[in-house]
Amino acid sequence: MKFALKSAPSSGAAVAAPQAGRGGSSLVLGAALLGFFLISLDALIVTVALPDIGRGLGGGMSGLQWVVDGYTLIFAALMLSAGALSDRVGARQAYGGGLVLFGLASAACGIAPSLGVLVAARLVQGGAAALMMPASLALIRQGFPDQARRAWAIAVWTVGGAVAVAAGPVLGGALTASVGWRWIFFVNLPAGLLALALLARVPVSPRLPARLDLVGQVTAVIAMGALTYGVIEGGDQGFGRPLVVVSLVVAVVAAAVFLAAQAKGAHPMLPLALFRSRVVAVSLVIGFMLNAAYYGGVFVFSLYLQQERGQSALHAGVMFIPMTALVAVVNLASAKLAARFGPRVPMAAGQLIGMSGLLALLTVEPYTNVWVVATLMVPVGLGGALTMPALTAMLLDAVPADRAGTAGAVLNTGRQVGGAIAVAVFGALLTGANTVLAGMRWSVLLAAAGLVLTTLATLTLPRNRPHRATRP
């Protein structure tokens, strides 16, 4: 779920960069905003189209899960090193390359002749999104050297993500019902071209020294990919199958090598010292669980509404409007509550609200009015919107200033991994259950239990914002 993440770009972006005037700053913000909108949109727009994609290209539940997770998984796996790559080639150049690659991958998705080709194109889309995300923030840093105006620009930038989150299911349903599911990918092309046109008038960014952690990056991709494959295919074919067992073993081995590389490497992409802070560790777990509940919930209820209740893609998309409509407003309320009572209050309250909504969804029956179902989903969205801004602020206050970008990237990565794993696990539960409704209930119960644990973890955090750590 995309909420405001006001973290600094990678460390190199703090050095002097070409400054743009107000007109140039507007171009920078427009280009960055469009890109962030597309990145956020494509995480959700595809979900309500999954039944139509399955009918058009064939493939069972596991194939449809990969259409969602192929994008999210690579996005998460490449996020940590994408900032360093952006610094090496320059933010404008990296962002432009990411936009071009994103557009080409979107076109490939739209014309995909088979499910395998669609999944491959979604993987490329996720890689392009990972490159665009840190580069877009670095561009804003370049275009808005004044701190006050930069804070305003980042706030506007986050609105793009909030609007995309709200629009994704509805737009996906409307396009699928009217002109076909392929247009959920073609719609990226005009927005991408407009972003490139704006970017062409932005000054070239400097190239900055930044080291890439190749061992860490490769093992992170292998670990996440093998784990996701094992869970998805295990749920579809059985966890005792040799290929599933091998993939899960590979995931464990790759994760161990990754951790060793981060502990001993000279330039790790994930400094393990960050996790000595309880705030950082707990924040990562909360972010993981919130996205698991939200993205997993959208995935499960999209299938429930269409396969169990016979709703069209358009009607299923409309059902998500109540859950997403107030996200931006609640984001602002979270910031005000955190300023008055400390971040722990909105964080705990938000998770309890989300958990209450999930438990209420356990009462849904095959004959429950669909608008009642839509209303019961509202607390799930509002709970995350109330939690994330306060959580992000607490996290950034708990780390040294020069680690803010890394901490923000770690949080974003954890959230994306949460969404990917939830789709894999919930899909396995749907496949293993006798009915969609039964699988949905197990998924909802698992998400609610996770939020109970993270709420308890929240209560162990400082009551007020911790003083920012300093380096020894």
- DSSP state string for 274-328: GGGSHHHHHHHHHHHHHHHHHHHHHHHHHHIIIIIS---HHHHHHTTHHHHTTHH
Give the pLDDT confidence of 208-228 residue by residue, as tens digits.
665 777 787 788 888 888 888
Poorest-confidence range of 18-32, 352-366, 416-430?
18-32
Q: Max Cα separation, the chain?
A: 62
Q: Which residues contact 329 (CB under 8 A, 6 or more apart)?
A: none
pLDDT at site 124: 94
Examine the pLDDT at 7 and tell me if it is beyond 50.
Answer: no
Q: pLDDT above 70 covers what percent of the chain?
A: 88
- In 3D, which of 386, 400, 404, 406 has the Cα closest to residue 455? 386
Examine the pLDDT at 2 and tell me if it is beyond 80.
Answer: no
pLDDT at site 155: 67
What b/e sequence results for 43-55 when a residue is b if at least 16 CB atoms lie within 10 Å of its CB, and e otherwise? bbbbbbbbbbbbe
The answer to whether 248 touches 227, Cβ cutoff 8 Å, is: yes
Average pLDDT taken over every residue of the chain: 81
Poorest-confidence range of 191-195, 266-270, 359-363?
266-270
What percentage of the chain's residues is helix, strand, coil (to nearest 5)? 80, 0, 20
Examine the pLDDT at 469 and tell me if it is beyond 60.
Answer: no
pLDDT at site 13: 37
Query: Could you tell me which residue, 205 or 454, shows the higher pLDDT?
Result: 454
pLDDT at site 472: 37
Examine the pLDDT at 354 and tell me if it is beyond 50.
Answer: yes
24: confidence class by pLDDT, cuts 50, 70, 90: low
123: confidence class by pLDDT, cuts 50, 70, 90: very high
pLDDT at site 210: 59
The answer to whether 87 touches 137, Cβ cutoff 8 Å, is: no
What's the pTM? 0.78
Poorest-confidence range of 77-86, 184-193, 362-371, 421-430?
77-86
CA–CA gap between residue 223 and residue 201 (Å, rounded): 40
* Helix axes 147-178 and 115-143, enclosed angle (nearest 10): 160
The residue-averaged pLDDT of 381-390 equals 85
SS3 (DSSP) at 400: coil
The residue-averaged pLDDT of 392-399 equals 77
Examine the pLDDT at 471 and tell me if it is beyond 70.
Answer: no
SS3 (DSSP) at 16: coil
Give the pLDDT confidence of 183-200 residue by residue, as tens digits.
999 999 998 899 889 888
Q: Look up residue 461 and give its amino acid.
A: L
